[in-house]
Amino acid sequence: MNRIAFLFPGQGSQYPGMGKDFFESSEESRSLYRQAQDILNIKLEEKIFNGGAESLEDTSLSQLAIFLTSLSCYQRLNEANIFPEVMAGHSLGEYSALTAAGAFSLPDGLKLIQKRSFWMAEASRERPGKMAAIIGLPAAEIQKICQAAESKGVISIANFNSPNQTVISGESLAVDEGVRLSRRRGARRVVLLRVSGPFHSELMAPIGKKLRGLLDSLEVKPPQVPIVSNVNAHFAERPAQIKENLIKQLSQPVRWTESIENLITQGFNIFVEVGPRRVLSGLLSQGNKGIVSLNVEDEKSLERTKRELKSRL
């Protein structure tokens, strides 16, 4: 029996022009972007579709852009009568999934992303840092590397992305030391991430109080589709639980490997990445045999996904 899960990407998946294909071909997509522009009073179409890659590296813009692109892709899947049994989102993607599932209204989802991204950028200016992906070393080894690099400053694991990829985050000198030690201990590859701060580390913890206050001011509903939480890889259904998990998510690691493993154990074998690029699809391909990995980011990928699902369902 085939079971479908939707996956929503996080920051780093952005690229200039993403979502433009659906915007031009779908009135529903155009309505989504224009609602967002009216709510935020930002010319998002111009910035996302016509801006350069450098402008999209700004956290406050990239998060809104990915969020809207993902929701547009989700709309198009629904229009094609393709629905998931469960959903999960990587970091920012958890907000996309929750909004798609009706836990947040569109205005509240946009407000959360706008404030969250602003606070993250602000915290990064106050206590700068960086992130790096370590490829080819076990997570347990990288945990030891972080402990060894703590003499240089704050450092910890930010993302358990796959059995072969773990991301570290923290103050620049400490992450540089973690990179050096990882290479010395046999990492196949180390990639400094193009993000503006040390996300999912204790350097983001001061934002928690602000986010809690904002979440408490909004209506949070039980999601219409079960959502896997980043912080514990379990389903979160109660509004109070959702709020608490999102606050913890700021400074705790994204347990993506465990989230995917739990879904596979429960029989989910078709995963559709809903949003720009194929970052999560690439992670799925690392050690997960017998699953189908699809994506929707434009008309071409939507048609390909529809054909593949028709042949399997």
Q: pLDDT: is 56 or 205 the higher one?
A: 205
Q: What is the mean pLDDT of residues 137-144?
A: 98
Q: What is the pLDDT of residue 83?
A: 98
pLDDT > 70: percent of the chain: 100
The answer for residues whose C-beta is within 8 angstroms of residue 100's C-beta and 6 or more apart is 6, 8, 70, 71, 74, 87, 225, 274
Q: What is the pLDDT of residue 148?
A: 98
> Of these residues, 70, 162, 200, 259, which one is catalytic?
200
Instruction: Indicate whether 290 pLDDT > 90.
Output: no
Q: pLDDT: is 137 or 44 the higher one?
A: 137
> Of these residues, 91, 124, 196, 229, which one is catalytic?
91
Determine contact, residues 113/63, Cβ cutoff 8 Å: yes
What is residue 81's three-state secondary structure? coil
Contacts 24+ apart (CB under 8 A), 37-46: 39/106, 39/107, 39/110, 39/111, 40/64, 40/110, 40/114, 44/68
Lowest mean pLDDT among 11-20, 35-44, 50-59, 132-141: 50-59
Q: What is the pLDDT of residue 55?
A: 85
Split at pLDDT 50, 70, 90, the class of 278 is: very high
Instruction: Indicate whether 57 pLDDT > 90.
Output: no
Helix axes 106-126, 59-79, angle to 10 degrees: 150
Q: What is the pLDDT of residue 53?
A: 87
Split at pLDDT 50, 70, 90, the class of 28 is: very high
Give the pairing type, strands 130-135 and 189-192. Answer: antiparallel
Split at pLDDT 50, 70, 90, the class of 134 is: very high
Instruction: Indicate whether 288 pLDDT > 80.
Output: no
Longest dimension (CA), the chain: 55
Active site residue 105: no
Strand runs labelled E in the chain: 4-8, 86-89, 130-135, 155-162, 165-170, 189-192, 227-228, 254-255, 270-274, 292-296
- Distances in Å between the Cα of 293 and the Cα atoms of 4, 78, 197, 235, 298 are 10, 18, 30, 21, 16
Instruction: Indicate whether 297 pLDDT > 90.
Output: yes
Mean pLDDT of all residues in the chain? 96
What domains can you pick out in the chain, each with its CATH number? 4-125+203-312 (3.40.366.10), 129-196 (3.30.70.250)
Q: What is the pLDDT of residue 307?
A: 97
Active site residue 90: no
Q: What is the pLDDT of residue 58?
A: 87
At residue 240, what is the residue type? Answer: A
> Per residue in 177-198, pLDDT tens?
999 999 999 999 999 998 889 9
Q: What is the mean pLDDT of residues 268-289?
A: 92
